[in-house]
Amino acid sequence: MTGRLILLRHGQTEWSRTGRHTGRTDVALTAEGEEQARALRTWSSMLDPRLVLVSPLERARRTAELAGLADVVLDDNLQEWDYGGYEGLTTPQIRQTTEPGWTVFRNGVVPGDTPGESLEQVASRAGAVLERVRPELEHGDVVLVGHGHALRVLTTVWLDVDPCMGAQLLLDPATVSMLGSQHDVPAIASWNVPVTD
C-alpha cells in the first residue's frame, strides 16, 4: 500500500458544540464550523488524492466544499451512527433518564420504536467503506470526510480491533487523522490533528 487513508471530521455544528448526539439529523455547520472548514484549504491544496469519499449529510458535504476538496463522491456508508431514540440527546441526559453509566460504544442505542444502529452495524458499514478504498490505496491517498463516531469505528475496523475501542479515540470537529501501515500491520500515523490556515 502506497497511499494514506486520511480521515477528516466535519466542522462544528450547534449540536456537536453542545454534545448532542447527531446521527442522521441534517444540521448545518455553525459560523465557527465554516471557518474551521475554510482553514483546511491550505492543507487540502497539498493533496492529490485518488479518491475523496464524503458522507451525504450536509455538515460533511459543506466541510469538503469549503476545504476545497474536488471530485467528491458521496457514500452513504460514511453517514454517522443512527442513534435512534437517543438522537439529539446528550450523554448526561441519557444517563439521567435511561441508563446510568451509559456510553454508545458499550451500551448501544435505545431499543423500541426507533432502535437506531448497533455498534456491529456501524462497523459493518465501515468495513464496506474500507473494502471500497483499499484498491485505491495501492496507488495513492484516499480522503474520507465524515463524522466523529463513525470515523472512530472505522478506525477500529482498519486496526482489526474490537470496535468498542472507538470510545478511546477522541475526535474533534475539523481535525485530520491519517491511517496507514508499518510492515503490513495497520496503524494510526496521526490522530485528531487540528489544521489552521
- The residue from 34, 58, 80, 131 that is catalytic is 80
Residue 80 a catalytic site member = yes
Catalytic site includes residue 65: no
DSSP letters along the chain, please?
--S-EEEEE---BHHHHTTB--SS--PPBPHHHHHHHHHTHHHHTT---SEEEE-SSHHHHHHHHHTT--SEEE-GGGSPP--GGGTT-BHHHHHHHT-TT--HHHH-S--SSS----HHHHHHHHHHHHHHHHHHHTTS-EEEEE-HHHHHHHHHHHHTS-GGGGGG----TTEEEEEEEETTEEEEEEEEEE---
Which of the residues are catalytic? 10, 80
